[in-house]
Structure 1
Amino acid sequence: MTTPGQLTPEQQQQIVAQIGNGLASMATPGWRRLRTEYRAVGRHLETDVLITGPDGVTRSVAPPPELVQLLGTLRAGMYQPGQGTWLGASLTFDTVQGTSVEFAVEQEPSWRRTPPPIGFQDELRFFPRAEQNIPPWLRQRAGMEPTTQPAEPLVATPPAEAPEGLRSARVYDGLDESGRPVVNREALSPAERDRVLAYLDGAPVVLASRTYDADAFAPDREPSVPLNFRTDGRWYWPGAVAYYLREHDVAPDPGLLTHIRALAFTLPEVGEPERELAVAAITGGQR
């Protein structure tokens, strides 16, 4: 039995066949071998395509968007509640040896560029794992405390505390079995909602992208969730926090909300050292 959004083995095979056909359409007739490697965590994606032509020479080619989308669909569709999904895949199509597919669920992929901590934190939000199914390296990458006691089979969410002392706000509390966000937070009155929004929107942006993310509560909408981060020097949060409060009345992370109330909704001065600290926390020290 599969959960909503989960691919059956037959559907998985169909996607693998689609990937092979797509790679073949990119290759010179008479090709010998096609190979794609896909590494993903959170929103961080890396895709390689290698084609061995009839001359026996292997060449690297740019992956088309359709291939990246198919691999992403396969990864999401193979998610198992509490167990997570694979982080690395290698698909090989050989004219002599046939098709070979390998998935890495527990092992860390060999990244071209190591993703920042937020990528590993997002991975555990998007594809929650029970405590016992979070490898030590993934806990470390996500900024989680190492476990020293036998873990209980509960769905894990990353802690809010960042190694640098800043705290990171969770956008929502987890995902259900269908991949929809789960929120269990108090509702704000209209007056307090406006004051909290003013605080969130008034904090300086420390990282930003020109693109927008999909609305997790309304996935059919045009992507409109800001891909940026703000900080008040004590907390940092993604633009999604204010967006979901404004659009769906989703209150901020309870810890952040308590912090804002304690400051009487008055944003403190945020100097350059605090901004640099936030950037370092978000990017894992990569500038």
Structure 2
Amino acid sequence: MPPRALDATQQAETCADIGELLGGSLPDGWARATLRWSELAVGGSSASLAVVAEDGSSLTAAGIPQGITELCRRLRLGMYSETGGTWFTLIYTLIPGRYSVRYDYDDEPDAPSFTPEHYARDLAYFPRAEENIPDWLRKKLDGLPNVYGGVYLEADARDGVPRPSPEDFEGALSRAGWETGASDRFRGELAFSTDWARLSTLSGPGLIRFAGQADPDKWEALHSLLTGFGWNVGMSCHEPRGGDLVREFPPPRETGR
């Protein structure tokens, strides 16, 4: 669980420390500096620093000063509340002699490296009331897979070729009545669905990985279908929104992994 909250005095002291570090690193002639800093409990942080001169022209800063991340992280941890969670992005503006700071609890951070899985882990560490989960975050969480699996390729006894191939995989599912087509997430990969599951592949060496959402009452049916093709299949099944592991289906044969 997050640590005990910082009181107003401690928050102000931490903000002043940010200003001291930031101000000491800025180029000559600066008039305003704006720091944007975002971080999740898992997935790292993202930061940008914009500096302008009195005439409004941009100045080049040396980078984010060492120690800023520790101070921003202290604020994010210390400002957590059980209903509101904690903020995603800090916007800190410094002008000579004073600063202002805004905490954004609602908007998605400008951080393409943050994945839905990262947001799920962050919400698990910093839970907030359901009504305080923004729509963009709810959409990411609701789209997370509850099934992850892999079909381990094995050498065909007839010719030694590892199978199933992607074409074998698609053909078997299509003949079983599933809708198949190109994945809209990964180039060259397969999407396959039925009325109780929507999944897609992400192949790797010696393995066809798959992930998506399936009705929990049908997890066993999915595993039975895939192993029924003669494939060596393992699966893990989870609670919604990137939750805890609920059930595992180990591959029936050794995989060599």
Q: Same fold (TM over 0.5)?
A: yes
Tell me which residue corresponds to 1:8: 7
% same residue: 27
Give the Cα separation in 2 of the matches to 1:270 and 1:83: 45
- 2:102 is aligned with 1:102: yes
For residues 270 and 132 of structure 1, the distance between their equivalents in structure 2, rounded to whole angstroms, comes to: 45
Question: Which residue of the other structure, out of 241, 246, 249, is the alignment partner of 1:255?
Answer: 246
Deviation at residue 9 of structure 1 after TM alignment: 1.0
CA contact (8 A) 2:26 2:61 kept: no
1:5 and 1:267 mapped to 2: Cα distance? Answer: 48
Q: CA deviation at 1:51?
A: 2.7
Task: Report the Cα distance in structure 1 between the residues aligned to 2:59 and 2:252, rounded to whole angstroms.
Answer: 57
- Alpha-carbon spacing, 1:70–1:107, altered in 2? closer, same or farther (3 Å): same
8 Å Cα contact 2:236-2:245 kept in structure 1: no
Deviations 1:165-215 (A, max 9, x none): 428xxxxxxxxxxxxxxxxxxxxxxxxxxxxxxxxxxxx9x9xxxxxxxxx
Cα distance, 1:166–1:13 mapped onto 2, change above 3 Å: same
CA contact (8 A) 1:51 1:61 kept: no
Letter matched to residue 46 of structure 1: S
Q: 2:252 and 2:123 mapped to 1: Cα distance?
A: 30
Structure 2, gaps ≥5 residues long: 150-206, 210-232, 239-243
1:62 CA drift (Å) = 2.2
- Please give the alpha-carbon distance, in whole angstroms, between the structure 1 residues aligned to 2:8 and 2:128: 21
The answer as to whether partners of 2:83 and 2:129 remain within 8 angstroms in 1 is yes
Determine whether 1:162 maps to 2:153. Answer: no
In structure 2, relative to structure 1, the CA distance for the partners of 1:54 and 1:122 (3 Å cut) is same
* Larger fraction in helix: 1
Which residue type is aligned with residue 52 of structure 1? V
Q: CA deviation at 1:110?
A: 2.5
- Root mean square deviation, CA, Å: 3.4
| 8 Å Cα contact 2:76-2:86 kept in structure 1 | yes
Mark the structure with the bigger radius of gyration: 2
Matched, 1:235 2:236: yes
Matches within 5 A, 1:177-192: none
Alpha-carbon distance in 1 for matches of 2:253, 2:121: 28
Structure 2 residue matching 1:110: 3-state secondary structure: coil
The aligned counterpart of 2:137 is: 138
Distance of aligned partners of 1:234 and 1:52 in 2 relative to their CA distance in 1, 3 Å threshold: same
**Contact 2:91/2:103, CA 8 A, preserved across alignment:** yes
Give the TM-score normalised by structure 1. Answer: 0.50
Give the corresponding residue for 1:148. none
Residues 61 and 50 of structure 1: CA distance in aligned 2, closer, same or farther (over 3 Å): farther
- Match of residue 74 from structure 1: 75
1:233, distance to aligned residue in structure 2 (A): 3.8
**1:234 match: secondary structure:** strand
Q: Larger % of strand: which?
A: 2
Go from structure 1 to structure 2 and tell me whether the alpha carbon gap of 1:267 and 1:62 turns closer, same or farther (over 3 Å shift): farther
Write out aligned runs for 1:189-228 (5 A): none
Give the letter aligned to residue 106 of structure 2: E
Q: Using the alignment, how far apart are the partners of 1:72 and 1:141 within structure 2?
A: 24
Q: Distance in 1 between matches of 2:236 and 2:11?
A: 41
Alpha-carbon offset, residue 24 of structure 1? 1.0
In the TM superposition, residue 54 of structure 1 has moved relative to its aligned partner by: 6.6
Find the aligned partners of 2:48 and 2:37 in 1 and give their Cα distance: 7
